Amino acid sequence: MNEPRANDHIPSAQALSRIRKYVEKYREKTGTSAHPDPEVTEGVVLGLAAHIDEFGRPLCPCNFYPDKSAELATSRRWVCACDEMKRYKYCHCLLFVTPEGLPVTEYLPEDHEGREVYGLVKAPTPEQGP
């Protein structure tokens, strides 16, 4: 895994524990899996935990925000689990995926960029909703 840069926030043990438990429970709830490359998961978990320390909420670390505080004040859209995950079972961060490491795309609108990039990827557990 990459070494943290000087300006990276090293998350607290409490935030890391909190987000790891959340991710595990949400995977159970949605029937999704961890990415087969542990570094993918670890990078997202570290970013979410750092945002818990900094903002008190797990803001998605995979997006660019001109002002993170403003994003949190005006929207829940990118707070994990984000709106796309809750609505379509689609995780652009690859935190909640199929066993092969692909995001579920079958519930996305056909013109969604996730569908264009990954094609049709069926949910491994369709009986378990987002």
pLDDT band at 85 (very low <50, low <70, confident <90, very high): very high
pLDDT of residue 127: 87
Distance CA 107, CA 61 (A): 23
Is 62 considered catalytic here? yes
Higher pLDDT, 64 or 82: 82
Whole-model pTM over 0.85: yes
* C-alpha 114: how far from chain center: 14
Query: 62, 82, 91, 93: which one is catalytic?
Result: 62
Mean pLDDT value across residues 84-111: 95
The predicted-structure confidence for 115-129, as pLDDT tens digits, reads as follows: 999 999 999 998 887
Distance CA 104, CA 130 (A): 10
Residue with tokens 């490359």: 37
pLDDT of residue 48: 96
